[in-house]
Amino acid sequence: MRYQLRDEQGATHSVAYLMLAAVPVVFLTGIVLPAEHPVGWVVATLLTCGFMAVAGSAARWRPGWIPRVWWLIAPFAAIAIIAGMNFASHDASAGAQLFYLWPVLYAANFLSNRMVGLVLVLISAGHAAVAFSTLTPAKALSDWISVTVALSLTAFVVGSLRNRNDRLRQVLESQALADPLTGVANRRSFDLELARAVTWARRGGESLALMTVDIDYFKKINDTYGHGVGDQALQVVANSLRVVARREDDLVARLGGDEFVVLLRTDRAGAGKAADEVRTVLAAVDGLPCGPPELSIGVAVLPDHAGTPSDLQAASDAALYEAKQGGRGRTAMARPPAPRQGAGRHNEISAAG
């Protein structure tokens, strides 16, 4: 994360618009307005304008052509151009230093705090080189301190606002992917994680277990004790399921009503132990007017019972149905998928041969 770009699309647009807007400004201030036009200065200005026009156009319309590292070094290239032109023109005016605002704002918005600090150091050094070679020592010192402090405060304010927005976005993302009552993941989050987990299991040849959990006679709890107690029962079950989701990538989700799922990076034996542990933890719960809720649990494992996310869900749902049909309050393991008819006939023919 230290040197990671925060928002590549935003950085691309920022670079494109800055460079395209800077072309007429540099041409106007470098060639049109000055009274004298040294050949070397004119050539350097035209080359700078050409570079910015090409780079800005590429960033705007063909960003894929530009190496990704460019978006990290863009503010440093801008500092070099600004400092070089200020030094060549011996311009230490406030207007010339305002161009440094772009690399400061860019770094504060898209780069890490360490990179922002490096940008400020280079800007301060670049301005010092111009100021102390152009102004009197006292004036240069005052001007250098003023510019450095002003740009540092700008970076601090922009960085603070960026961090605040990041925190707010994280809260919103968390709320969008969490069940508000129990705090576990919601269906949307589960669907995303299930697809990712199945890809992980296939790639590494690992096992992935899915437990589908229903609270037995949940409607009776609501009807007898009220929805407040029903909500407490849901929260207790969610907390009990969290106990077995120990790995960082394990997931507990509430799909709706009294239905939960638990996604575990484990095999069939591990899933069976997890189901037993959930019951043990839940049995020790005290304080619910309805007593500890009983659970029906269906377990399916990839690749034993399924090979795709939808098949894994279907196998786990079928096992849950079997657990309910068997008297509830029990755990049922999914059955291995039946062999395809064509494959069975092929095996019979092979055996006969």
- Which run of H or E residues covers position 298? strand 295-302
**Is the pLDDT assigned to residue 353 strictly greater than 80?**
no
Q: What is the mean pLDDT of the chain?
A: 87
What pLDDT was estimated at residue 48?
84
SS3 68: coil
What pLDDT was estimated at residue 21?
86
Distance of CA 261 to the CA centre of its chain: 24
**Interatomic CA distance for residues 331 and 298, integer angstroms:** 6
**Interatomic CA distance for residues 62 and 215, integer angstroms:** 55
**Is the pLDDT assigned to residue 236 strictly greater than 90?**
yes
By CB atoms closer than 10 A (0-12, 13-18, 19+), residue 199 is exposed
Q: What is the pLDDT of residues 60-77, one digit of tens each?
A: 898 888 888 888 888 998
Instruction: Look up the CATH superfamily of 187-337.
Output: Reverse transcriptase/Diguanylate cyclase domain (3.30.70.270)
What pLDDT was estimated at residue 4?
62
Residue 350: pLDDT band by 50, 70, 90 thresholds? very low
SS3 82: helix
Residue 341: pLDDT band by 50, 70, 90 thresholds? low
**Is the pLDDT assigned to residue 352 strictly greater than 50?**
no
What pLDDT was estimated at residue 29?
79
**Is the pLDDT assigned to residue 2 strictly greater than 80?**
no
**Interatomic CA distance for residues 292 and 285, integer angstroms:** 6
Q: What is the mean pLDDT of residues 160-188?
A: 85
Q: What is the dihedral of CA 199, 202, 203, 209, to 10 degrees?
A: 80
Q: How far is CA 63 from CA 39, 54, 59, 243, in A?
A: 34, 12, 5, 47
Q: What is the mean pLDDT of residues 97-125?
A: 91
Q: What is the mean pLDDT of residues 207-236?
A: 94
What pLDDT was estimated at residue 347?
45
Question: Would you list the domain boundaries of the chain?
Answer: 8-176, 187-337
Q: How far is CA 115 from CA 31, 96, 133, 351, in A?
A: 33, 23, 27, 69
**Interatomic CA distance for residues 134 and 96, integer angstroms:** 13
